């Protein structure tokens, strides 16, 4: 980071909180909020980024398109924003308010933002158990559940020389499944 990005930590915190409000409104994945190469908090998509405007209430949306015609049609789709820079195949628009549900869908599509995935509690628990078991098969995971033993507690079944096939065979034998 350059050190010239934010004047103080309060400004950086306020900027991040404003971005988090928009991220929640967009129902986008939390991992899309990150710092760019200059150190500013941005929401980064596959085809553009969203920055704060600096006034605490609005955002700058940068969009890049495949062609000039695609940019023209994209501007039409984003008519609820104000164009501030109009390039050939890219541009910047200003968003003055949190988007409505219809606008959210358009912004996510245009910028290329991944939607936040919400799992049901039982599905989330199954995924965690599956990942813990897969990690134990590799011998590298740190299990977060009490009933899944760590590799150190597995009585040497996870030697670093064994390799994936050897560890998998030992795990299946320990679980009583045929190999």
Q: What is the CATH number of the domain that holds 92?
A: 3.90.1150
Task: Check residue 159 and give its pLDDT.
Answer: 46
Q: Which two tokens stand for residue 37?
A: 């190469």
Q: In terms of Cα–Cα distance, which of 46, 51, 52, 39 is closest to 7?
A: 39
Instruction: For residue range 6-24, list pLDDT tens digits in order.
Output: 889 999 999 999 999 999 9
Instruction: For residue range 52-61, list pLDDT tens digits in order.
Output: 998 999 999 9
Task: Check residue 2 and give its pLDDT.
Answer: 47
Same structural domain for residues 27 and 105? yes
Task: Decide which of 131 and 33 is more confident.
Answer: 33
Looking at 81, 111, 141, the residue that finishes a domain is 111
Same structural domain for residues 135 and 162? yes
Q: Provide the residue range defining the domain that includes 103.
A: 9-111
Q: How far apart are CA 100 and CA 151, in angstroms?
A: 49
Task: Check residue 154 and give its pLDDT.
Answer: 47
Looking at 111, 142, 160, the residue that finishes a domain is 111
Provide DSSP, 91-154: EEEEE-SPPPHHHHHHHHHHHTPPBPP---HHHHHHHHHHHHHHHHHHT-----STTSPPGGGS
- Percent of the chain at pLDDT exceeding 90: 59
In a domain, 3, yes or no: no
Same structural domain for residues 102 and 21? yes
Residue with tokens 């820079």, as numbered in its chain: 85
Same structural domain for residues 132 and 100? no
Q: Could you give the count of Cα atoms lying within 13 Å of 25 in the half-sphere of its Cβ? A: 19
Q: How far apart are CA 160 and CA 158, in angstroms?
A: 6
φ/ψ region of 98 (left if φ > 0, alpha if ψ in -120 to 50, else beta) reads beta
**Residue 71 in this model has a pLDDT that exceeds 70:** yes
| Cα dist from 109 to 45, 47, 71, 114, 131, whole Å | 10, 9, 14, 9, 30
Same structural domain for residues 100 and 137? no
Secondary structure (3-state) at 1: coil
Number of folded domains that form the chain? 2
Please answer whether residues 49 and 37 qualify as being in contact, where contact means their C-beta atoms are separated by less than 8 angstroms: no
Q: What is the mean pLDDT of residues 147-175?
A: 53
Residue with tokens 């501007």, as numbered in its chain: 75
Please answer whether residues 53 and 59 qualify as being in contact, where contact means their C-beta atoms are separated by less than 8 angstroms: yes
Task: Check residue 47 and give its pLDDT.
Answer: 96
**Residue 120 in this model has a pLDDT that exceeds 90:** no
pTM strictly above 0.85: no
Instruction: For residue range 87-108, list pLDDT tens digits in order.
Output: 999 999 999 999 999 999 999 9
Same structural domain for residues 48 and 84? yes
Please answer whether residues 88 and 71 qualify as being in contact, where contact means their C-beta atoms are separated by less than 8 angstroms: yes
Q: In terms of Cα–Cα distance, which of 169, 164, 142, 167 is closest to 153?
A: 142
**Residue 174 in this model has a pLDDT that exceeds 80:** no
**Residue 166 in this model has a pLDDT that exceeds 90:** no
């Amino acid at each position: 980071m350059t050190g010239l990005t934010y004047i103080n930590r309060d400004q950086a915190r306020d900027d991040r909180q404003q971005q988090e409000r928009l991220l929640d409104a967009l129902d986008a994945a939390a991992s899309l909020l990150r710092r760019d190469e200059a150190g500013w908090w941005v929401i980064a998509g596959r085809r553009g980024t969203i920055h704060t405007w600096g006034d605490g209430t609005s955002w700058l949306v940068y969009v890049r398109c495949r062609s000039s015609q695609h940019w023209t049609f994209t501007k039409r789709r984003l008519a609820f924003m104000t164009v501030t820079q109009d390039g050939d195949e890219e541009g910047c628009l200003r968003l003055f308010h949190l988007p409505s549900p219809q606008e959210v869908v358009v912004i996510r599509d245009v910028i290329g933002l991944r939607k936040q995935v919400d799992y049901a509690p039982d599905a989330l628990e199954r995924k965690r158990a599956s990942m813990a078991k897969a990690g134990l098969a590799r011998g590298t995971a740190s299990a977060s559940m009490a009933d899944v033993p760590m590799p150190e507690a597995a009585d040497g079944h996870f030697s670093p020389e064994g390799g994936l096939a050897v560890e998998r065979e030992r795990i299946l034998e320990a679980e009583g499944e045929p190999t």
